A = this chain, B = another copy of it.
Amino acid sequence: MATPQFKELRHAYGFDEVAIVPRDVTINPDQTNIDFKVGNFTFSVPIIAAAMDGVTDVNFAILMSRLGGLAVLNLEGIQTRYENPREILAEIAQAPDAEVTPLLQKVYSQPIKENLIGKRIQAIKQGGAVCAVSVAPANTKRFAPIAAEAKADIFVVQSTVTSARHISKSYRGLIFSELRQSIPMPIIVGNCVSYSACLELMRTGISGVLVGVGPGAACTTRQVLGVGVPQITATMDCAAARDAYLRESGRYVPIITDGGMDNSGDLCKAFAAGADAVMLGSILAQAKEASGLGYHWGMSQPDPALPRGTRIKVGTTGTLQQILFGPASVTGGSQNLVRALRVAMGVCGVFTIQEMHQVEMVIAPSIITEGKSWQLSAHTRAV
């Protein structure tokens, strides 16, 4: 009888299961450099606001750019379906929980108005900001030329899972090498979670990869599809692909960890796992300037046949300035993200994000210690 062949399962880890180990050299946090580069753009803050309708609108994109980061406008959401999106956003914010999924299904069934695509991009550009926009793969051929004509700066192609090779009888899959020829701007593609998928995407010549499928507990992709890889492992795998691609091509393509980060600690861990930048949704949705008026929802929740996700009341906890640069009035890690990253880099003795990729992490599930009622450490203020 042949030896039985059992399927093998690899362990994967999320933010809550790991912690960064400080090193034997420390540096002054003020000396750290956290620049993030994509194409010819350099950002002083490696944080990207997600293409979600509860976060990014024209004003938010301008503000985010002014503060040193980047925001991505969703070209298939409320901003391009409605002349006056604020009314719709207010309606969503006011809907009772039980009615919100049908309401979103209705709101997003309204057609996208092509003229609004150009209008939104131009408004962001007129605000002096770098303008990034996102489209799903199926609509890319239709909307990419419009975005290019309106002079968008960065083009994001994003769906739950996007691969370098999509097979369909009914339509011809998107060919990224062709897209690169047709629009004169850096292309960021996602999402993916594995070494090979990330490597294949990079080989098409694109300029950045978004990492993350079903990372968070309340993202229902994992409940509905069973699909997902926790973000630390996904980021480590895609970072290995980036490094392998650099060795084979000489080209450094940044990876952006997208989703699942609850606080600045998670953000620091994403960089320690290998991220070049992070894409944030819910943390930024708490900004006074976010479009969602204190609410946030997933872009797959309005799916007419297979909705996934939930509208969440995130509340409004401070200005975007305060969330990014403090001072923090709360102690849970939802404010002063930039200082937290610099301090974490300081205790790890690293000057750049690329050095941060090398720091050690340990598996240390926070849930294990949650029985503990309270613990305070004696460490003095100066870090």
Contact with B along A230-272 (1 / 0, CB 8 A): 1011001101110110011000000000111011111111001
Separation of A306 and B327 alpha carbons in the complex (Å): 7
Supposing A349-B167, A368-B367 touch, asked if A258 and B378 sit within 8 A by C-beta, the answer is yes
- Which chain B positions have C-beta within 8 A of A296? 374, 376
Taking CB atoms and an 8 Å cut-off, the chain A residues in 22-41 that contact chain B are 22-28, 30-31
- Among the listed stretches A86-94, A117-125, A297-305, which one makes contact with chain B, having 4 or more residues with CB under 8 Å of it? A297-305
Complex interface residues of chain A between 1 and 52 (CB less than 8 A to chain B) = 1-2, 4-7, 9-28, 30-31, 50-52
B-chain residues with CB within 8 Å of residue A363 when the two chains form the complex: 9-12
Separation in Å of the A92 CB from the closest CB of chain B? 14
B159 adjacent to A218 (CB under 8 Å): no
A228 within 8 A of B: yes
Using Cβ atoms and an 8 Å threshold, which residues of chain B touch A76? 380-381
**Stretch in A57-65, A147-155, A177-185, A328-336 touching the partner:** A328-336
A14 to chain B, nearest CB (A): 5
* A51-B160 CB under 8 A given contacts A222-B366, A224-B340, A244-B1: no
- How many chain A residues have a CB neighbour from B under 8 Å? 171
Give the distance to chain B from A260, nearest Cβ to Cβ, in Å.
5
Please determine whether A9 and B13 come into contact, CB atoms closer than 8 angstroms.
Answer: yes
The answer on a CB contact under 8 Å between B24 and A240 is no
In the bound complex, CA of A11 to CA of B375 (Å)? 22
Contacts A24-B164, A161-B22, A226-B268; A12 near B377 (Cβ below 8 A): no
Interface string of A184-205 (1 = CB under 8 A from B): 0000001111111101100000
> With a CB–CB cut-off of 8 A, which chain B residues contact A69?
none
**Which residues on B sit within 8 Å (CB–CB) of A15?**
369
Chain B nearest CB, measured from A337 CB (Å): 10
**Complex contact A16–B369 (CB within 8 A):** yes
User: Contacts A377-B281, A381-B299 given: A225-B268 contact, CB under 8 Å?
Assistant: yes
A window 265-317: CB within 8 A of B: 265-269, 272-274, 279, 281-282, 296-310, 312, 314
Closest B residue to A279 using CB positions: B378
Q: Within 8 Å of chain B (Cβ to Cβ): is A165?
A: yes
CB distance from A271 to the nearest CB of B (A): 9
The answer to whether A169 touches B31, judged by C-beta atoms less than 8 angstroms apart, is yes
Q: Is A223 on the interface with B (CB-CB < 8 A)? A: yes
Q: With A134-B380, A371-B366, A382-B139 in contact, do A267 and B331 touch (Cβ < 8 Å)?
A: no
Query: Is residue A318 contacting chain B, with contact meaning CB distance below 8 A?
Result: no
Question: How many angstroms from the CA of A162 to the CA of B138 in the assembled complex?
Answer: 49
Q: Flag whether A95 is at the interface (Cβ < 8 A).
A: no
> Which of A28, A228, A309, A381 is the most central at the interface, judged by chain B CB atoms within 10 Å of its CB?
A381
- Contact check: which of B11, B102, B163, B263 meets A23 at CB < 8 Å? B163
A80 at the interface (CB under 8 A from B): no
Does A106 reach chain B (CB closer than 8 Å)? no
Residues A221 and B377 in contact in the complex (CB < 8 Å), given A16-B369, A227-B347, A306-B339 = yes
Smallest CB-CB separation from A270: which chain B residue?
Answer: B226
20 residue pairs bridging A and B, Cβ less than 8 Å apart? A4-B195, A6-B237, A11-B362, A16-B369, A19-B214, A19-B226, A24-B196, A24-B200, A31-B168, A51-B378, A160-B377, A191-B377, A194-B360, A216-B375, A217-B371, A219-B377, A227-B348, A229-B364, A258-B377, A306-B326
